[in-house]
């Protein structure tokens, strides 16, 4: 493999063939994987796609923008279809994968279903006329993504905690938010805190948990 720089950049997106580096542009890296024509990198495409999307770095339009030739754009579409089929074959459920699948053309969705059937039977599949091993695809993904997901867990935990803290700060004053988190974590409350929680905070929580209120709030945000 000639492009060591590409390999170093991919390492930050869960495909550590060399030392880990700081990834500047996941979309450019994915486009470069497509253009490389290297089957080993194509085998790692599902890993890079999953980790970059989980980190919020993948943008289909931007990735396509880095591809000039029609053939490369077709390869990208096929690799996306293959990746979605692989996740399904491995019983992995990514929330973003459903949205990505819906964005594919009818032709590409059929292609993905074909890949899925081949992957289930451990039969070789073809991307842009080139044969790829189902078993190698599964082994590569399991090998790299296991490590990548471990590294990602800390990032996601911090992201989720930050998101919760921010949301709570929009609803509760600081002291109420502190008591809410204390209750949520199962920490012991004083008699005064229990009474205050029951009298004030619980009522607000019940309102937030109301299904109709949640539905209407989502509707307003869509407008």
State how many domains the chain has: 2
The residue among 118, 152, 186 that closes a domain is 152
Angle between helices 106-120 and 134-171 (to 10 degrees): 120
In what helix (H) or strand (E) does residue 134 lie, and over which residues does it extend? helix 134-171
Q: Is 125 helix (H, G, I), strand (E, B) or coil?
A: strand
**What is residue 55's DSSP assignment?**
T
Q: Within a domain: residue 162?
A: no
Q: Within a domain: residue 159?
A: no
Taking the C-alpha atoms of residue 65 and residue 197, their distance in angstroms, rounded to an integer, is 53
Q: Within a domain: residue 95?
A: yes
Q: Where are the beta strands (DSSP E) in the chain?
A: 125-127, 130-132
Clarify whether residues 118 and 187 are in a common domain.
no
Burial zone of 56 (CB within 10 Å; 0-12 exposed, 13-18 middle, 19+ buried): exposed
Q: Within a domain: residue 164?
A: no
Residue span of the structural domain in which 140 resides: 4-152
What b-and-e string marks burial along 18-39, b requiring 16 or more CB atoms within 10 Å of the CB? eeeeebebbbbbbbbbbbbebe
Taking the C-alpha atoms of residue 30 and residue 51, their distance in angstroms, rounded to an integer, is 11
Clarify whether residues 32 and 135 are in a common domain.
yes
Taking the C-alpha atoms of residue 12 and residue 48, their distance in angstroms, rounded to an integer, is 9
Measured CA angle at 160 (ends 159, 161), to 5 deg: 90
Taking the C-alpha atoms of residue 215 and residue 16, their distance in angstroms, rounded to an integer, is 43
Taking the C-alpha atoms of residue 132 and residue 42, their distance in angstroms, rounded to an integer, is 9
Clarify whether residues 125 and 55 are in a common domain.
yes
pLDDT at 2: 44
- pLDDT digits (tens), the chain, 223 positions: 445 566 555 655 555 543 334 445 789 889 999 998 888 889 989 988 988 887 778 899 999 999 999 999 999 999 999 999 999 998 887 878 888 898 889 999 999 999 999 999 999 999 989 999 999 999 888 877 666 555 545 544 544 555 565 577 778 887 888 888 788 777 888 999 999 999 998 888 888 888 888 788 777 766 5
Closest CA to 34 of 78, 2, 4, 3: 78
């Amino acid at each position: 493999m000639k492009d060591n720089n590409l390999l170093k950049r991919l390492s930050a997106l869960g495909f550590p063939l060399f030392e880990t580096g700081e990834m500047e542009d996941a979309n450019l890296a994915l486009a470069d994987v497509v253009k490389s024509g290297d089957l080993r990198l194509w085998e790692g495409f599902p890993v890079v796609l999953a980790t970059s999307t989980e980190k919020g770095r993948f943008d289909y339009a931007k990735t396509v923008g880095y591809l000039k030739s029609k053939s490369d754009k077709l390869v990208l579409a096929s690799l996306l279809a293959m990746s979605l089929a692989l996740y399904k074959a491995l019983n992995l459920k990514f929330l973003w994968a459903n949205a990505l699948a819906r964005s594919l053309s009818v032709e590409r969705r059929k292609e993905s279903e074909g890949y899925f059937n081949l992957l289930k039977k451990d039969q070789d599949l073809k991307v842009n006329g080139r044969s790829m091993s189902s078993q190698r695809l599964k082994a590569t993904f399991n090998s790299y993504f296991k490590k990548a997901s471990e590294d990602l867990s800390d990032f996601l935990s911090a992201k989720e905690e930050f998101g919760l803290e921010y949301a709570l700060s929009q609803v509760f004053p600081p002291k109420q938010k502190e008591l809410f988190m204390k209750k949520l974590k199962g920490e012991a409350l004083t008699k005064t805190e229990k009474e205050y929680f029951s009298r004030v905070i619980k009522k607000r929580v019940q309102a937030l948990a109301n299904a109709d209120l949640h539905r209407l709030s989502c509707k307003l945000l869509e407008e």
